[in-house]
Amino acid sequence: MVTRKNLAKRSKTPKAGLAVDGFYRVNIVDPDGRVRGDSGWKHNLITSGGLTAYISYLFGGSAGSSLVNRMMLGSLQSALATNASSLPGEYGKSLMATLASTQITTRAASNSGDTVRFLATFISNSIISTTAQTIACIGLYATTNQSSVFCGGSFASSTLGQSQAINCSYDVVFTASTS
pLDDT tens profile 9-60? 555 676 778 888 999 999 999 999 999 999 999 999 999 999 998 899 988 9
Distance, first Cα to last Cα, the chain: 25
Nearest Cα to 168, choosing from 153, 178, 179? 153
* Predicted pLDDT at 113: 80
How many Cβ atoms sit within 10 Å of the Cβ of residue 28? 20
What residues are paired with 169 via a beta bridge? 25, 119
More confident residue, 159 or 5: 159
Q: What is the mean pLDDT of the chain?
A: 83
Residues ≥6 apart with Cβ < 8 Å to 11: none
Residue 5 has a pLDDT of 62
Residue 23 has a CB neighbour count (10 Å cut-off) of 16
pLDDT for residue 7 is more than 80 = no
134-161 tens-digit pLDDT = 889 999 998 755 568 999 999 999 888 7
| CA–CA distance, 148 with 105 (Å, rounded to integer) | 26
The pLDDT value given to residue 116: 92
The secondary structure of residue 78, as a DSSP letter, is: S
pLDDT at 19: 87
The pLDDT value given to residue 150: 92
CA gap 83, 69 in Å, rounded:
21
What's the mean pLDDT in 1-12?
59
Report the b/e string of 87-103 with b at 16+ CB within 10 A.
Answer: bbbbbeeeebbebeeee
pTM for this model (two decimals): 0.82
Q: Which of 28, 23, 22 is nearest to 136 (CA)?
A: 28
pLDDT band, residue 77 (cuts 50/70/90): confident
Segment 101-124 mean pLDDT: 81
Query: Has residue 129 got a pLDDT over 70?
Result: no
Confidence (pLDDT) at 11: 57
Q: How far apart are the C-alpha atoms of 67 and 60, rounded to whole Å?
A: 13
DSSP 90: B
Arithmetic mean of pLDDT, 92-113: 74
CA distance 85 to 146: 9
* C-alpha radius of gyration, the chain, whole number: 20
Residue 71 exposed, middle or buried by CB count within 10 Å (0-12, 13-18, 19+): buried
